[in-house]
Chains A and B, each alone.
Chain A
Amino acid sequence: MRTINVNEITKNVKEMCIEANYYLSPDMNKAMKCAALEEESPLGKQILDQLGQNLKIAAEDMIPICQDTGMAVIFLEVGQEVHLEGGLLEDAVNEGVREGYVEGYLRKSVVNDPIIRENTKDNAPAVIHMKLVAGDKVKIKVAPKGFGSENMSRVFMLKPAQGIDGVKEAVLTAVLDAGPNACPPMVVGVGIGGTFEKCALMAKEALTREVGTHSQIPYVKELEEELLSKINGLGIGPGGLGGTMTALAVSINTYPTHIAGLPVGVNICCHVNRHVIREI
């Protein structure tokens, strides 16, 4: 048994919220640079160059990459051999979000109730997904999610007979509908299988995968590559103003499902695909 004080979780979550909003992760940075080189449209290239400058200014002058600093989505993998002391884990995570957003000059974008809509003024609460795993560590993934792209995300409850072609059509439909609204070049997270909520959660977690890496399952890897190529053939381009770089990556997670179903979740993220991962 290893004892961890939840203050340690708060401190890390706080730092990770700030880090995610000022510095794009190395994988995303690399993908953005490659896209700027490969883009065929002159206006698209100009936009990608602006986004490159934007990243530089954000880091040097400490201005958030995007004003929508997101709703904090946090994945926790807690080792079964960890004993947490000092308070509730969920409270500790939310406290980290509060401190990060207030002290880090990040925008407070969370309202207390979806209908009454009063701003909570500290960006809490976060959306927290917890999983118990083997070991004595706590793995934290902080992925603040902007809503320009979140609003364009979809769940499709396909019929098994629609098969892989149905999945491709669903993903391409979601991306085409998203178009300029999702701030392309985007990253597309896909969850196939499970249930209604499981496919959405898998799609969300797929966005935290290192861009440029693929699924271990051969047909899924092929599907990721094929969909990326098809998405970039849609013509949407950077800023939705035409071009060949519509998406930087397609990441797909799968899970067993029911004999009667083929759920597909498509979670779209803008080019500010923020994810910071730490293990305590």
Chain B
Amino acid sequence: MEKHITAPITKEIAKSLHAGDYVYITGTLYTARDAAHKRMYEILQEGKELPVDITNQLIYYMGPSPAREGRPIGSAGPTTASRMDKYAPQLLDLGLGGMIGKGKRSKEVLDAIVRNNSVYLAAVGGAGALLSKCITMSEIVAYDDLGTEAIRKLTVENFPVIVVADCQGNNLYETAIKEYAK
């Protein structure tokens, strides 16, 4: 089913998304990948506050290529989500709305999605040029020194994703593969 949503996302929106839905997102996304997650994890360990309020936000696992002059961003496709599995459950428990990436997630993450009425969305891996066209603004908001791995606030328009794991516990990666296995 094709859906249009705005981000940040409320729990009601997250609950309305089902594995297999094709979703266009308009609004705000935050990027973070390996190094930014490690820092956020360490900050939380120290009992300090995260550099951005993640409540209801969508984190896009992405580190862009450099932007050419006059453009908001370079190539901007998803990175493999499983490398963030160690950190994701805690962020979801703290109110993170959902995640955009590609690839399998751990049981701990999938359980945290169900527990928190969250969602895991996949963008098409290796479509970084196409996806960059849906990003109208990009601004580094934390960890500038990490370069491509800095936390960026993105403004997106009709950013295309597919619901992989929903809060009912469905996982498209597991069901879709069975349909076409010979």
Which A residues contact B (CB, under 8 angstroms)?
40-41, 43-44, 46-47, 50-51, 53-55, 57-58, 61-69, 105-109, 117, 119, 121, 148, 151, 179-181, 183, 233-237, 239-244, 270-272
* Pairwise interchain contact B75-A181, C-beta atoms closer than 8 A: no
Say if the beta carbon of B82 comes within 8 Å of chain A: yes
| B74, A65: Cβ atoms closer than 8 Å | no
- Interface contact B65-A67, CB-CB below 8 Å: yes
**A216 to B: closest C-beta gap in Å:** 30
Contact (Cβ within 8 A) B102 A66: no
Residues of A near B125 (CB, < 8 A) are 66, 148, 180, 183, 239, 270
Q: Check: B97 CB closer than 8 A to any chain A CB.
A: no
Report whether A50 and B179 are in contact in the complex, using a CB–CB cutoff of 8 Å. no
Q: Which of B75, B76, B164, B176 has the most CB of A within 10 A?
A: B75
| Contact call A67/B77, Cβ cutoff below 8 A | yes
Specify which of B130, B133, B172, B182 is in contact with A241 (CB 8 Å cutoff): B172
Tell whether, in the assembled complex, residue B128 and residue A236 are in contact, meaning their CB atoms are under 8 Å apart. Answer: no
- Inter-subunit contact A107/B129 (CB<8 Å): no
- Chain B residues with CB under 8 Å of chain A are 20, 22, 35, 62-68, 74-77, 79-80, 82, 102-104, 122, 124-130, 132-133, 146-148, 160, 162, 164, 172-173, 175-182
Chain A residue at minimal CB-CB distance from B148: A107
Q: Are A66 and B122 in contact (CB under 8 A)?
A: no
The interface centre, meaning the residue of A44, A63, A109 with most chain B CB atoms within 10 A of its CB, is A63
Contact of B162 among A66, A151, A241 (CB under 8 A): A241
Q: Is the CB of A63 within 8 A of B128?
A: yes
A254–B43 Cα distance when bound, in Å, is: 50
Query: In the complex, which of the residues B20, B75, B122 contacts A64, with contact meaning CB atoms closer than 8 Å?
Result: B75
Kindly list chain A residues whose C-beta atoms are within 8 Å of the C-beta of B160: 50
Question: In the bound complex, how far is the Cα of B145 from the Cα of A121, in angstroms?
Answer: 11
Closest 7 CB pairs of A and B: A242-B176, A235-B181, A181-B103, A183-B125, A235-B180, A233-B182, A67-B75
Asked if residues A67 and B173 are in contact (CB atoms below 8 Å), the reply is: no
Q: Are B180 and A242 in contact (CB under 8 A)?
A: yes
Min CB distance B162 to A, Å, is 6
Kindly state the separation between the CA atoms of A241 and B20 in the bound complex, as whole angstroms.
9
Q: Closest B residue to A59 by CB, please name it.
A: B129
Alpha-carbon distance between A69 and B132 when the two chains are bound, in angstroms: 15
8 contacting pairs across A/B (C-beta < 8 A) = A58-B129, A69-B65, A105-B68, A109-B63, A179-B104, A180-B173, A239-B125, A241-B164
Q: Determine the chain A residues whose CB is within 8 A of the CB of B124 once the complex forms.
A: 47, 50-51, 54, 239
A contact residues around B176 at 8 Å (CB) = 41, 43, 235, 237, 240-243
Question: Is the beta-carbon distance between A181 and B129 smaller than 8 angstroms?
Answer: no
Q: Per a CB cutoff under 8 Å, which of B68, B75, B175 touches A66?
A: B75
The residues of B that contact A61 with a CB separation of less than 8 Å are: 129
Give the residues in chain B near A46, CB-CB below 8 Å. Answer: 22
Do residues B76 and A67 form an inter-chain contact, with CB atoms below 8 A? yes
Q: How far is the CA of A67 from the CA of B65 in the complex (A)?
A: 5
